[in-house]
Structure 1
Amino acid sequence: MPLEIERRFLVVGEGWREHCLWQVEICQAYLVRQADGLTLRVRTSQGQSDPAPQAWLTLKAIPPGASSAPALVRLEYEYPIPHGDALELLDLAPEQLHKQRYGLNLPGGAWVLDVFAGSNAPLVVAEVELADPDEILNLPAWCGQELTGHHQLSNAALARHPLQQWSEAELRELLPSFHVRTGKGEG
């Protein structure tokens, strides 16, 4: 069973930039998004060093017997598909998100950082894939509030209900430090 073991953090500041190895532009949309955590995603990406666009279909689900809330451990099945097929699927999915993804050179797992664009800007989220859910992490200083398990902050949820559409109350409840830094909602 292919498992994704991932923790997510709100990013504070620019200290992460010194760890960048690569960058890709990502567009993704959700063809299926169920309350039990099952998602079917189509994604395209294009990197600066590799001009050929790439595309994937990814199915994610909660493992049998686990909690139904999106969390640390999920099943993940990912398959490359022709880029043209992905573009057609993106046309079928109005709930999309766009971001720049950066690969980071940090110990303790496979780190990436997403700088969201469009209606999810200026959100910046770091993700680390781990080999074991109990693995101890030494977090960089720029990792702020942990977002792992907050289903309202999953990529699927952000595609459906982008950050710019959040009420002031939603921001205060889920992202209090982000709300203060951006001043969103302040008069």
Structure 2
Amino acid sequence: MRFEVERKFLVADDGWQAGVTTRRRLTDGLIGQFATGNKVRVRLDEGRAWLTVKGERVGLGRPEFEYEIPRADAESMMSLVCETCFIEKTRHCVPYAGLVWEVDVYGGTLTGLILAEVELGHEGQAFDRPPWLGTEVTGDPRFRQSALLRRFGDEGRRVTPEEVLALPL
């Protein structure tokens, strides 16, 4: 088990693109989410598939368990077990000041959103903010992937950060 501590931000401009070192397409399917905040998801990228179990949040962190699984099993879970909408995104890795930022450009039902995350060693860890970083949305329930899918998953149009911020907390 690892304890994941991450911070999430809106992206203010496209200055991050010049620093991209790797990118990969991801598809996430939500298997279950519980009132405690725990969730189970299945994820696919171009070469792997895995299950992730995330525990209840404690401050900025939460326990996380990941298990690689056969791709065929993941595809079956997505079609038979997951909720109907999926998260589609391209994750871009952008090193900056000793940390690797993950800039997620959403596609599919959430086209229009771009969010940046950074994983930290502990909650109090200081870090330099890249100049392309916007408003912090860590802990904002409106920016949780499951909430985004529930609100915008069937609309078939671009989603803007301003729309998400205008939603009630």
Query: Aligning the two structures, in what range does the TM-score lie when normalised by the shorter sequence?
Result: 0.7 to 0.9
**Aligned match of 2:78:** 90
- Counterpart for residue 112 of structure 1: 102
The residue aligned with 2:149 is 159
The alpha-carbon deviation at position 91 of structure 1 amounts to 0.6
Aligned-pair distance for 1:30?
0.6
Which residue in the other structure is 1:74 paired with?
Answer: 62
Query: For structure 2, which runs of at least 5 residues remain unmatched after alignment?
Result: none
1:171 maps to which residue? 164
Normalising to structure 1: TM-score of the pair?
A: 0.78
| Structure 1 residue 82 displacement after superposition | 0.6
In structure 1, the residue matched to 2:53 is 59
**Distance verdict in 2 for CA 1:152–1:35, change over 3 Å:** farther
Distance 2:56 2:79 in 1: 27
Identity %: 33
The alignment yields a C-alpha RMSD, in angstroms, of: 2.3
Matching of residue 43 in structure 1 with residue 31 in structure 2: no
Partner of 1:178: none
CA distance change for structure 1 residues 75 and 38 in 2, over 3 Å: closer, same or farther? same
Partners of 1:159 and 1:57 in 2: how far apart? 19
The alpha carbon displacement at 1:109 in A equals: 2.9
Aligned residues: 162
Q: Which 5+ residue runs of structure 1 have no aligned equivalent?
A: 47-52, 176-187
- TM-score relative to the length of structure 2: 0.86
